[in-house]
Amino acid sequence: MNDTEFKNAVILAVDDEPINLKLLERILSNNGYTSILTETDPRNVSAIYQTNRPDLILLDLNMPHCDGYQVMAQLKALNDPLLPPIVILTAQNTEQFLVKALEAGARDFVTKPFKVDELLVRVKNLIEIQLAHKSLYMQKVDLEKMVLQRTRQLHEERLQIIQRVGWAAEFNEKENGNHILRISNISALLAKNLGFDDYQCELILNASSMHDIGKINIPDSILSKPGKLDAQEWEVMKQHTLLGAQILDGNDSDLMTMAKEIALTHHEKWDGSGYPNGLAGDEIPMVGRIVAVADVFDSLTSSRPYMQKWTVEAAIELIKDLSGKHFDPKVVSVFESELEEIIKIKNQFA
């Protein structure tokens, strides 16, 4: 800490007697302190503090309108982690008053009339402590910012990997990464309107990227086959749900747990006719029901080797028709109410 920084520390003196403030100001300025604020009305202290952020407060106890105890209570209520030390200025030197002041938040006291040397020593010691505290606090803030920045960077890198892994699963179907982005964002939109909180929405945004990860193990001859699959090929294709769950198994993080759940259940149907386990109704996890709608809508309206691209209008009508059969009616209802946003997502990642 250099001497300039020390002498530039902001000191606020509060006393209803102007003569006391003039004396304090003269003592402090004569000893090199350059930033001295004075106030006679204690009701203004909180506002002055928030504007100027003093490093030390010299506070009288017995004042009209608002005594020193009330001023300390107001300052304490601000919950400022850098609240400065308070030195009580008082003619009352009995133990009762001093203990009460210390309990209210004062760090030290000076009795009137002032002893100049005593006052200056107490001011110097407490300013040194406060400036050191501020320095440590700012170092902590800077470190937290660095950690947060690095954490965000790692988070973004992880999400990029997740998206590319999901994209790899679609690669044999000649689909680009935008299919993953469309399904992810539509799923997150539906989830939000179904009551998911922000954390859960972010999870489904990222976990849904891996809904078809099991297709990595499906032969290209099946994935890229034009036209309808035969019965044997269809049985192989259906295995991608189980294969995906196996790939994503073994990690108990919230993200991977949800991703496994989605991979395994997004082809289940509300009426129990889906695969791989023939789950029905509420037996199907909500995330699986959400991604089912997003996946079918985007698959129908995207170019695929085995299927002609549908119009958006035709895909919407099919999803409505399959409400209560293939899809959860509640999810379809939200899908219908959010069609404008869903179309925006589809166009954004076209």
pTM of the model: 0.62
Structure tokens at 182: 């469309």
Residues 304-344: tens digit of each pLDDT: 666 678 999 999 999 999 999 999 999 999 999 999 999 99
* Rounded CA separation 285/119 (Å): 70
Length of the chain: 350
Tell me the pLDDT of the chain averaged across its residues: 89
Are 268 and 278 contacting, i.e. CB atoms less than 8 angstroms apart? yes
For the record, the structure tokens of 349 come out as 């990642």
Beta pairing, strands 10-14 & 35-39: parallel
Q: Are 158 and 322 in contact (CB under 8 A)?
A: no
- Domains in the chain, start-ordered, CATH in brackets? 3-131 (3.40.50.2300), 153-348 (1.10.3210.10)
What is the rounded average pLDDT of the residues 144-159?
80
Residue 276: asked if its preceding bond is cis (omega within 30°), the reply is yes
Catalytic residue among 124, 140, 215, 330: 215
Least confident of 20-34, 59-73, 85-99, 265-279: 85-99
Q: Residue 215 catalytic?
A: yes
Please write down the long-range contacts of 189-195, taking CB distance under 8 Å and 24 or more positions apart: 189/338, 189/341, 189/342, 189/345, 190/290, 190/293, 190/294, 190/331, 190/334, 190/335, 190/338, 191/287, 191/290, 193/334, 193/337, 193/338, 194/286, 194/290, 194/330, 194/331, 194/334
